Amino acid sequence: MATIKEVAELAGVTPTTVSNVLRDRGRVGTATRERVLNAVAAKGYRPNLNARALVERRAPTLALMLGCITNPFYPEFTLQTNNAARRHGRFLLVCNTDYEPDGGSGFLAEVAGSLSDGVLVANTGSLQVDELKSIQATGTPVVISVWEFPDVDPGIPCVAFDSHKAGYIATDHLLDLGHSRIGALVGSEKNGIHGGRYKGFCDALRARKVKHLKTDARFGTDSYQGGFDAALDLLTSTPDLTAIFVSNDLPALGALNAAASLGFNVPEDLSIVGITNIELTSQSRPALTTVAIPTAEMAEKSVDLLIKLASNDPDAPAMVRTADPVLIKRASTAAPKSRATK
Amino acid sequence: MATIKEVAELAGVTPTTVSNVLRDRGRVGTATRERVLNAVAAKGYRPNLNARALVERRAPTLALMLGCITNPFYPEFTLQTNNAARRHGRFLLVCNTDYEPDGGSGFLAEVAGSLSDGVLVANTGSLQVDELKSIQATGTPVVISVWEFPDVDPGIPCVAFDSHKAGYIATDHLLDLGHSRIGALVGSEKNGIHGGRYKGFCDALRARKVKHLKTDARFGTDSYQGGFDAALDLLTSTPDLTAIFVSNDLPALGALNAAASLGFNVPEDLSIVGITNIELTSQSRPALTTVAIPTAEMAEKSVDLLIKLASNDPDAPAMVRTADPVLIKRASTAAPKSRATK
């Protein structure tokens, strides 16, 4: 492979000038720049990124830690993060942690060593905040990309969306349609990762003085199969529900299928609403009403924040908030039968 | 951060011994190994992977070039590839090429420079074999992970599955059920990437002397929406079809939805079969009958082959074949009505 020296000789400049052109640094005239780029092309020169990383004390990659790439939220988030990273000239190292025997701790430590100059954590999952802090302490910036609780500082720089509002909007939509007997499938324990979404659900009901029976909720359902199983159970034990609030789209799609299996017509017999707005929600039959969270914005703001931290920008904030979630009305929700026929 | 020298001093060994322990090289006694590992833990030492890459003339990552991570085949393939890479102690750099202005050429060149010690290409897409060869020529091994034509040598080491057989098996299944008027939705042009699958379809029909009318096929449908639109068109213009062969699962799921939109009951009025066996096919309603291609095996064999090439193994083959595709019978296929009621 050609060396930078050969390129410099061909262009009649110093290696430093070649380097400046390739990194878009320093003052280089247009004619010189063009001569250098022609020489780079002629020699087929490719800068050695590892050497550059050593010299600049940073690697050209950002790492994204996520639970499992096959949960459809993550590919969508990964794509947005990837594109944001590319706009900053970085490559994205995608790290699946779910299948690591230690829950991703070892992965995180190794990636943060010198393979990447910053770590985005899309799913804290089994990674503890203390672990993230210990990575930070070694000088590698860490950003939590998807933080559900804008009122709580996790102690790590983060991008937060208002999960409580997402739950509230979804529930308000069902109440506006006239539902008053609404079940809930919650992806986590009551105070877990979907706790904000569930609290939004409870608060929306309370604001309209609609009762929420404990027997109408199921927790820990955050997968397609989890939603399917929990909806079967809920609808079998409480067939008079006219709507189900689901704290995430994937279990909502499972619930949609479970309802059909039991002979419920959605939305005529039963309304179902999710949260997130993954691509699949527009492809299910019926298409799923959901509350969109700003995935692309979260990805962009996470990368922006991480790069600020990596360049020791003193103005890097501790938390960046996204725009509010918005209702995406599709075909899985309608007025309950009793009301529709009144 | 601690240096290797400090670790060596604490353990009472030379830095080379520390290095040997961490890389599992050289002869080091059990007691010494333990002392070194304790010192590594005590000092919180993390080897500088970039420096190591320079010294060893290889980076600790493999790159996976793919079309678009949000096409659900790719996250599944990425996960399998990721896990295979991790078993070899490598990290996987996932590179989305669809959104690169140059179709991924620049991305490929930069990644192959020194950021990764090998490149897996899951989707040659707009990347030309010549480009892959020019990367190879610089000493970075390249493997095509998903090659559809075991009888054709692409000129780049590859992992091949028998796409013709996949198309043949899917079609044989429809013929076995008694269908004789079968439409086809093909993800590519006739001789494009899904050409083998389509040829399998045509050959299966020919073997049973079943006619295939040109008007019963649509080409270039390889997306959910593409399958939806083409199925609407096909079923509107040719309503007497009793089955549709679809060369890929994602457009088959679109076709399933299109059929429902037109009032066809699947499988009573219309059978639909796909190819690949992505996770979504077991979650659609009805669940999709499909022909499974060996995704996990392709991922594993690709990584194995790439690592062989990276270590200059003289026995690295030019092509690795996977096991044959297999029919996964689900709920979207049944005997045609006319036959069922006979």
Cβ contacts of B72 on chain A, cutoff 8 Å: 72, 75
Query: The CATH number of the domain where A106 resides is what?
Result: 3.40.50.2300
Spatial contact of A68 and A100, defined as CB atoms under 8 Å apart: no
Both tokens of B7, joined, read 């670790």
Task: Scan residues 125-144 of B and list those with Cβ closer than 8 Å to A.
Answer: 138-139
Tens-place pLDDT, residues A134-175: 888 888 899 999 999 999 999 999 999 999 999 999 999 999
**B221 and B276 share a domain?**
yes
Task: Kindly state whether residues A288 and A298 are assigned to the same domain.
Answer: no
**Residue of B58, B62, B69 to mutate when probing chain A, most A C-beta within 10 A:** B69
Closest CA to B246 of B273, B214, B218, B278: B273
Q: Could you count the other beta carbons within 10 Å of the beta carbon of residue B27? A: 6
Residue of A nearest to B227 (CA): A283
Per this entry, what is the length of chain B?
Answer: 342
Q: Measure the CA–CA gap between B155 and B135, rounded to whole angstroms.
A: 13
Least confident of A45-59, A120-134, A262-276, A311-325: A45-59
Chain B closest CA to A35's CA: distance in Å?
A: 20
Average pLDDT of A85-106? 82
A286 in contact with B at a CB cutoff of 8 Å?
no
A30 touches chain B (CB under 8 A): no
Name the residue in chain A with its Cα closest to that of B59: A50
- pLDDT digit string, tens, across residues B162-211: 999 999 999 999 999 999 999 999 999 999 999 999 999 999 999 999 99
List, in sequence order, every residue forming a beta bridge with B245; answer none if it has no partner: B184, B273
CB of B182 closer than 8 Å to CB of B171: yes
Characterize A63-97 residue by residue with b for buried, 16 or more Cβ atoms within 10 angstroms of its Cβ, and e for exposed. Answer: bbbbbbbbbbbbbbbbbbbbbbbbeeebbbbbbbb
Residue A93 is nearest to which of B53, B91, B100, comparing CB atoms?
Answer: B91
| Total count of domains within chain B | 3
The nearest CA of chain B is from the CA of A297 a distance in Å of 17
Does residue A248 contact residue A277 with C-beta atoms inside 8 Å? Answer: no
Closest CB to B111: pick one of A69, A91, A115.
A91
Residue B18 near residue B12 (C-beta atoms within 8 A): no
Query: B214 and B301: one domain?
Result: no
Query: pLDDT digits over B96-144, tens only?
Result: 887 777 777 777 877 776 678 899 999 766 678 888 988 888 888 999 9
Q: Are the C-beta atoms of residues A215 and A237 closer than 8 Å to each other?
A: yes
B2: closest CA among B55, B33, B49, B42?
Answer: B42
Q: Do B155 and B197 reside in the same domain of the chain?
A: no
* DSSP character at residue B293: -
Longest Cα separation, chain A: 86
As separate numbers, helices (DSSP H) first and strands (DSSP E) second, chain B gives: 13, 12
Question: With an 8 Å Cβ cutoff, is A200 touching chain B?
Answer: no
- Co-location of B283 and B250 in the same domain: yes
The per-residue pLDDT for range A213-251, each reduced to its tens digit, is: 999 999 999 999 999 999 999 999 999 999 999 999 999
Same domain, A30 and A61: no
Which of these, A312, A315, A310, A336, lies nearest to A142 by C-alpha position? A310
C-alpha to C-alpha distance for B58 and B170, rounded to whole angstroms = 43
Distance CA A261, CA B258 (A): 20
Structure-block tokens of residue A198: 């569930």
Yes or no: say if A147 and A154 are a contact pair by the CB < 8 Å rule. Answer: yes
Does A169 lie at the interface with B, CB-CB under 8 angstroms? no
d(CA B289, CA B252): 10
Q: Rounded to 5 degrees, what angle do the CA atoms A277, A282, A287 make? A: 110
Of A47, A76, A114, the CB nearest to B70: A76
Q: Calculate the alpha carbon distances from A278 to A53, A252, A281, B287 in Å.
A: 36, 11, 6, 20
Contact map slice: B 31-60 vs A, CB within 8 A: 44, 46-51, 53-54, 59-60
**Chain A residues touching residue B91 (CB < 8 angstroms):** 93, 95, 110-111, 115
Tokens 């009025």 belong to B269
Q: Where are the alpha helices (DSSP H) in chain B?
A: 4-11, 15-23, 30-43, 49-56, 73-87, 105-110, 129-137, 163-177, 195-207, 224-237, 249-261, 295-310, 337-340
Same domain for A25 and A108: no
Tell me if B79 and A94 make a contact (CB, 8 A cut-off).
no
The two three-digit tokens of residue A94, written as one number? 């995608």
In the 8-state DSSP scheme, what is residue B43? H
Domain that holds residue A282: 163-293+327-340
ipTM: 0.80
Secondary structure string (H, E, C) spanning chain A: CCCHHHHHHHHCCCHHHHHHHHHCCCCCCHHHHHHHHHHHHHHCCCCCHHHHHHHHCCCCEEEEEECCCCCCHHHHHHHHHHHHHHHCCCEEEEEECCCCCCCCHHHHHHHHHHHCCCEEECCCCCCCHHHHHHHHHCCCCEEEEEECCCCCCCCCCEEECCHHHHHHHHHHHHHHCCCCCEEEEECCCCCCCCHHHHHHHHHHHHHCCCCCCHHHEEECCCCHHHHHHHHHHHHHHCCCCCEEEECCHHHHHHHHHHHHHCCCCCCCCCEEEEEECCHHHHCCCCCCEEEECCHHHHHHHHHHHHHHHHCCCCCCCCEEECCCCEEECCCCCCCCHHHHCC
Q: Is the Cβ pair B48, A113 closer than 8 Å? A: yes
**pLDDT higher than 90, residue A287:** yes
Confidence of residue A262 (pLDDT cuts 50, 70, 90): very high
Structure token pair of residue B269? 């009025």
- Say if residue A56's pLDDT is above 60: no
Do residue B47 and residue A75 have CB atoms under 8 angstroms apart? no
Structure tokens at B151: 């009888």
| Angstroms from B205 CA to nearest CA on chain A | 31
Are B105 and B201 found together in one domain? no
CATH code assigned at B40: 1.10.260.40
| Strand partners for B62 | B92
Residues in chain B within 8 Å Cβ distance of A59: 50
Checking if the pLDDT of A7 tops 50, the result is yes
pLDDT of residue B23: 66
Contacts of B235 (CB under 8 A, 6+ apart): B183, B241, B258, B259, B262, B264, B270
Cβ within 8 Å, pair B46-A114: yes
- Are B94 and A76 inside 8 Å of each other by CB? no
- Tokens representing B284 are 């659609």
Instruction: Per-residue pLDDT tens, chain B, 342 aa: give them.
Output: 577 788 889 999 988 888 778 766 677 888 888 898 888 878 777 665 555 555 554 457 899 999 888 899 999 999 999 999 988 888 888 888 877 777 777 778 777 766 788 999 997 666 788 889 888 888 889 999 999 999 999 999 999 999 999 999 999 999 999 999 999 999 999 999 999 999 999 999 999 999 999 999 999 999 999 999 999 999 999 999 999 999 999 999 999 999 999 999 999 999 999 999 999 999 999 999 999 999 999 999 999 999 999 888 999 999 999 999 999 999 999 999 865 444
Of A1, A110, A257, the CB nearest to B283: A257
In B, residues 213-232, which contact A (CB 8 Å cutoff)?
224
Q: Which letter does DSSP use for residue B331 in this model?
A: S
Closest approach of B309 to chain A, Cα-based (Å): 19
pLDDT of amino acid A38:
86
The whole-angstrom separation of Cα B255 and Cα B332 is 11
How far is residue A258 from each of residues A89, A236, A238, A331, B240, measured CA to CA in Å? 45, 10, 14, 17, 32
Do A265 and A170 lie in one domain? The reply is: yes
Q: What span, in angstroms and rounded, lies between the C-alpha atoms of B19 and B156? A: 35
Number of residues assigned to chain A: 342
Residues of chain A in contact with residue B47, where contact means CB-CB under 8 angstroms, are: 113
User: Which residues in chain A touch residue B253, judged by CB atoms under 8 angstroms apart?
Assistant: 283
Q: Can you give the pLDDT at residue A50?
A: 53
Residue A23 pLDDT: 66
B168 and B20 part of one domain: no
Q: Quote the mean pLDDT of chain A.
A: 89
Q: Enter the tokens of residue A40.
A: 């780079």
Q: For residue A231, which of A220, A218, A222, A247 has the smallest C-alpha distance? A: A218
A142 pairs with which residues across the strands? A119
Q: Is B25 in the same domain as B63? A: no
Strand order, beta sheet including B289-292: B217-219, B182-186, B243-246, B271-276, B289-292, B326-328
Q: Cβ–Cβ of B79/A100 closer than 8 Å?
A: no
Q: How far is B319 from chain A (nearest CA, A)?
A: 27
- Nearest-Cα distance to chain A for B60, in Å, is 8
Question: Hey, are the CB atoms on A75 and B76 less than 8 Å from each other?
Answer: no
**Do B222 and B289 sit in the same domain of this protein?**
yes
Chain A positions touching B70 (Cβ under 8 A) are 75-76, 79, 279
* Residue B147: strand pairing partners: B160
Cβ-Cβ contacts under 8 Å, A111 against chain B: 91
